[in-house]
C-alpha cells in the first residue's frame, strides 16, 4: 500500500529478539513467577462478593445469546467478560479455584507479554527488567485482580493493551502481522469499555518513538499506515453497539456525575491513589469494603510519591531527548482513560470511589512502559541522548527498583489483610451443602447478607437468584416459584437452611381463644415482588381451601386439618397494594378459626 504521494509508509527493518533463553529472559520470567506467587497468596484470601453473584446468577439464567452478551452492566459493554463468566459458571458455578486459575493465567500472559513488548522496543538490555518489575509488582493492579468482577475487565484489558502495542511494534519494524494489533484491540474492547483507548496508546507510542522528526508530523505519517482505517471502523462500530444497547442496563443505567462529588473524586484518584500506587504505595489501606480496603495513603506518602515522580520526570528529560513525550502519553491516558470514565460513571454519591485503585489499574501498564520509554533509548533510535549519562544513575535506578519492589510487597500484603474472603466462603460452602442434603424442602426467598450482595441490588440479592446456581434444576424451580407450605425453610445468615421462624414486619393476633371475624381486612401495605409471605395461625378440623387477597391479587392455598391447638401455614404472595383478606373457598368456613396473621419477609427464628 502507498501513501497519497506514492511512497510506502516508512518501516523500520530491525531484527526483533526471539523469545529465547538469555539472561534477560530468564530473570524476567523469574520476576513474573515471583509476582504471581504473591498474587496467588492474595487470591487465596479473597472470594466471590457483590457483583460476582449477579454475574454468575445471570449466566445461569441465560444462554450464550446475543442479548446476554451485549447487556450493559453498570456502564460496561463487555461481551467477552460475560462469555467468560458463562463458560466458567457452566463448568463449575462459584468455583473460586477455577476463577483464580484463569485470573492468574491471564495475569501471567499479560506479564510475559510485557516482557515481549520491552524486548521489542529496547532489545535484550538488562535495564528493561526494572520496567518489568514496576509492572508485575504494581500494587495498583492487585485489588482489581482479587475481585472477580473487576478482574474480568482489568486483567484482559491489560493483556490486550500490552499485546496490541507489541503487535504494532512488530508490524512497524518487520512488516509482519498487519492485523494483529486490530485483533488485540477488539479483544480489549470485548472485555472493557476502556479498550477504546488502546488505538490511541498505539498511535502515541509508535509516533513518538518509532517515527522521525516533529511529533505532530510523525502522527500524520503513522496514520497513513495500512490498518488505521480498520481501527477507526472498529471504534465506530463499538460506539454504535454501545448506543444501541445502553438501555439494556435497566436499573444499572448510569445517572451521570454529581458536580459536588467530582472534585473530590479527581483529587483522590489523580492526586493520591494513582501517584502513590505508581511508586509502590499506598502502604496504608482504610475504609474497608466488602471487596477489600481503599487506598488511604498518609500525607507524607503522597508528598514523597509526587516528589519521586517529579524527580523521575526531571532527570529523564535532562538526559533523554524525547522523554517528555512518554510523560505526556502517560498524563493523557490517566486523565482521559481513567479519570474521565470514572467521573462520568462513578462520581455520583461519594468521593471515596477515587480511593479505589481498580479505576487506575490499567495505568500501571502505562506508567511502567512510559518510564522505560523516558529512560531507555528505543532500539534504532537516533540522537536519543541529550547529554552523557553519569555512571551513578544506573546504580541509583537499581536502588530505586529494589525499593519499589519492597514497598509494593508491603502494600500488597497490607491489602491482603483487608480481605474477608473466608467469611463469604463459609456462607457459600454452607449453602452448597444445605442444598445438596435437602433437595425436597420448600425454600423461601430471603436477601443474602449485605456483606455478600449490597441492598441496592434489589431482587437480585434474593437467595432464589444469588444461590440458584448451586441448586439442581428442580430445586431451583421451586426456589423461584415457592409453593404454600406448612414447614418452609430459609437460608440463615450463615448460609444454612433452617425452618422459617418469623415473618416481618406486619403481625396481628387475637386475644385468648378468639377468632377473627369472617371477612376481616388487615392493614397491610405491600410494594409487591418476590420474597413476601403471608403467614397464618389457624384451627380447622377438616382440610379446606383459602384465598389470600392482597390489593386485589389473589392466591389460593390448600390447608390441612390441624390439631386442637392449631397450626401455622405460609403462602408466598407477591401482590402489591393495600389490605389483606383471607377467606375460605367452598366448604369448611364455619370450622375455620383464624387466630393470627403476619406479612413480610420470612426469616429464621431470632
Query: 47: burial class by Cβ within 10 Å (0-12, 13-18, 19+)?
Result: buried
Both 368 and 428 in one domain: the answer is no
pLDDT < 50 stretches in the chain: 1-12
1 in a structural domain: no
pTM of the model: 0.91
Q: What pLDDT sits at residue 10? A: 47
Q: What pLDDT sits at residue 455? A: 86
Q: What pLDDT sits at residue 387? A: 81
Query: What does the alpha-carbon distance between residue 429 and residue 496 come to, in Å, rounded to a whole number?
Result: 9
- Give the residue from 357, 388, 416 where a domain finishes: 416
Q: What pLDDT sits at residue 5? A: 44
Q: Looking only at Cα atoms, what is the longest distance across the chain?
A: 105
8 in a structural domain: no
Contact 586, 544 (CB under 8 A): yes
- Give the residue from 382, 416, 450 where a domain finishes: 416
Both 428 and 381 in one domain: the answer is no
Both 174 and 293 in one domain: the answer is yes
Both 496 and 554 in one domain: the answer is yes
18 in a structural domain: no
pLDDT tens, residue by residue, 205-231: 999 999 888 999 999 999 999 889 999
What residue numbers bound the domain in which 141 lies?
23-416
Q: What pLDDT sits at residue 1? A: 40
11 in a structural domain: no
Both 133 and 258 in one domain: the answer is yes
Query: What does the alpha-carbon distance between residue 364 and residue 203 come to, in Å, rounded to a whole number?
Result: 19
Both 483 and 501 in one domain: the answer is yes
Nearest to 242 by CA among 82, 75, 51, 83: 75
374 in a structural domain: yes
Both 294 and 184 in one domain: the answer is yes
User: Which residues, in sequence order, are CB contacts of 182 under 8 Å at separation 6+?
Assistant: 227, 230, 231, 234
Both 459 and 393 in one domain: the answer is no
- Give the residue from 357, 386, 416 where a domain finishes: 416
pLDDT tens, residue by residue, 287-297: 778 889 999 99
The total number of structural domains in the chain stands at 2
pLDDT tens, residue by residue, 362-399: 999 999 999 999 999 998 888 878 888 787 888 999 99
Nearest to 423 by CA among 46, 39, 148: 46
Both 276 and 370 in one domain: the answer is yes
Query: What does the alpha-carbon distance between residue 541 and residue 564 come to, in Å, rounded to a whole number?
Result: 8
Nearest to 305 by CA among 282, 324, 328, 287: 282
Both 412 and 531 in one domain: the answer is no
CB atoms within 10 A of CB 563: 8
176 in a structural domain: yes
167 in a structural domain: yes
Nearest to 604 by CA among 511, 520, 489: 489
Both 96 and 152 in one domain: the answer is yes
524 in a structural domain: yes
CATH number reported for the structural domain that contains residue 589 in this entry: 2.60.120
Grid cell for residue 154: 482489568
Both 329 and 435 in one domain: the answer is no
Amino acid at each position: 500500500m502507498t501513501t497519497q504521494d506514492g511512497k510506502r509508509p516508512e518501516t523500520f527493518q530491525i531484527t526483533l529478539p526471539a523469545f529465547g533463553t538469555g539472561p534477560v529472559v530468564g530473570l524476567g520470567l523469574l520476576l513474573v513467577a515471583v509476582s504471581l506467587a504473591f498474587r496467588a497468596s492474595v487470591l487465596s484470601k479473597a472470594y466471590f462478593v457483590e457483583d460476582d453473584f449477579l454475574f454468575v446468577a445471570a449466566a445461569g439464567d441465560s444462554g450464550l445469546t446475543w442479548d446476554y452478551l451485549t447487556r450493559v452492566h453498570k456502564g460496561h459493554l463487555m461481551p467477552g467478560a460475560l462469555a467468560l463468566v458463562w463458560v466458567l459458571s457452566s463448568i463449575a458455578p462459584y468455583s473460586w479455584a477455577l476463577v483464580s486459575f484463569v485470573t492468574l493465567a491471564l495475569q501471567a500472559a499479560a506479564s510475559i507479554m510485557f516482557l515481549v513488548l520491552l524486548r521489542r522496543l529496547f532489545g535484550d538490555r538488562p535495564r528493561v527488567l526494572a520496567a518489568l518489575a514496576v509492572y508485575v509488582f504494581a500494587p495498583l493492579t492487585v485489588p482489581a485482580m482479587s475481585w472477580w468482577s473487576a478482574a474480568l475487565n482489568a486483567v484482559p484489558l491489560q493483556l490486550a493493551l500490552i499485546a496490541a502495542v507489541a503487535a504494532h511494534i512488530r508490524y512497524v519494524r518487520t512488516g509482519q502481522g498487519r492485523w494483529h494489533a486490530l485483533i488485540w484491540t477488539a479483544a480489549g474492547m470485548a472485555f472493557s469499555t476502556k479498550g477504546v483507548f488502546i488505538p490511541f496508546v498505539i498511535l502515541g507510542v509508535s509516533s513518538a518513538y518509532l517515527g522521525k522528526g516533529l511529533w505532530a508530523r510523525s502522527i500524520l505519517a503513522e496514520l497513513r499506515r495500512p490498518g488505521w482505517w480498520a481501527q477507526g471502523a472498529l471504534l465506530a462500530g463499538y460506539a454504535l453497539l454501545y448506543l444501541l444497547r445502553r438501555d439494556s442496563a435497566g436499573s444499572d443505567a448510569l445517572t451521570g456525575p454529581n458536580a459536588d462529588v467530582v472534585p473530590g473524586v479527581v483529587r483522590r484518584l489523580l492526586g493520591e491513589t494513582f501517584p502513590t500506587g505508581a511508586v509502590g504505595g499506598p502502604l496504608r489501606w482504610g475504609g474497608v469494603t466488602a471487596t477489600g480496603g481503599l487506598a488511604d495513603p498518609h500525607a507524607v506518602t503522597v508528598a514523597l510519591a509526587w516528589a519521586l515522580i517529579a524527580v523521575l520526570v526531571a532527570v529523564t528529560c535532562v538526559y533523554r531527548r524525547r522523554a517528555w513525550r512518554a510523560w505526556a502519553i502517560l498524563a493523557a491516558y490517566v486523565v482521559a482513560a481513567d479519570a474521565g470514565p470514572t467521573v462520568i460513571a462513578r462520581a455520583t454519591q461519594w468521593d471515596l470511589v477515587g480511593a479505589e485503585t481498580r479505576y487506575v489499574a490499567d495505568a500501571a501498564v502505562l506508567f511502567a512502559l512510559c518510564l522505560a520509554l523516558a529512560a531507555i533509548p528505543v532500539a534504532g533510535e537516533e540522537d536519543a541522548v541529550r547529554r552523557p549519562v553519569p555512571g551513578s544513575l544506573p546504580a541509583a535506578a537499581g536502588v530505586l527498583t529494589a525499593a519499589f519492589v519492597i514497598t509494593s510487597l508491603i502494600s500488597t500484603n497490607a491489602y491482603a489483610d483487608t480481605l474477608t474472603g473466608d467469611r463469604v466462603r463459609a456462607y457459600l460452602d454452607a449453602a452448597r451443602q444445605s442444598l445438596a442434603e435437602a433437595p425436597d424442602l420448600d425454600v423461601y426467598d430471603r436477601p443474602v447478607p449485605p456483606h455478600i450482595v449490597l441492598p441496592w441490588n434489589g431482587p437480585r440479592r434474593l437467595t432464589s437468584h444469588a444461590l440458584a446456581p448451586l441448586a439442581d434444576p428442580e430445586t431451583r424451580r421451586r426456589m423461584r416459584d415457592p409453593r404454600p407450605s406448612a414447614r418452609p425453610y430459609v437460608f440463615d445468615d450463615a448460609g444454612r437452611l433452617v425452618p422459617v421462624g418469623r415473618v416481618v414486619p406486619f403481625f396481628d393476633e387475637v386475644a385468648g381463644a378468639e377468632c377473627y371475624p369472617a371477612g376481616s381486612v388487615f392493614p397491610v401495605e405491600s410494594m409487591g415482588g418476590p420474597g413476601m409471605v403471608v403467614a397464618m395461625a389457624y384451627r380447622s378440623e377438616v382440610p379446606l381451601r383459602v384465598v389470600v387477597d392482597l390489593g386485589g391479587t389473589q392466591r389460593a392455598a390448600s390447608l390441612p386439618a390441624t390439631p386442637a391447638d392449631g397450626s401455622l401455614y405460609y403462602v408466598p404472595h407477591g401482590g402489591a397494594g393495600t389490605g389483606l383478606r383471607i377467606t375460605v373457598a367452598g366448604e369448611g368456613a364455619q370450622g375455620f378459626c383464624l387466630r393470627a396473621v403476619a406479612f413480610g419477609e420470612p426469616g429464621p427464628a431470632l
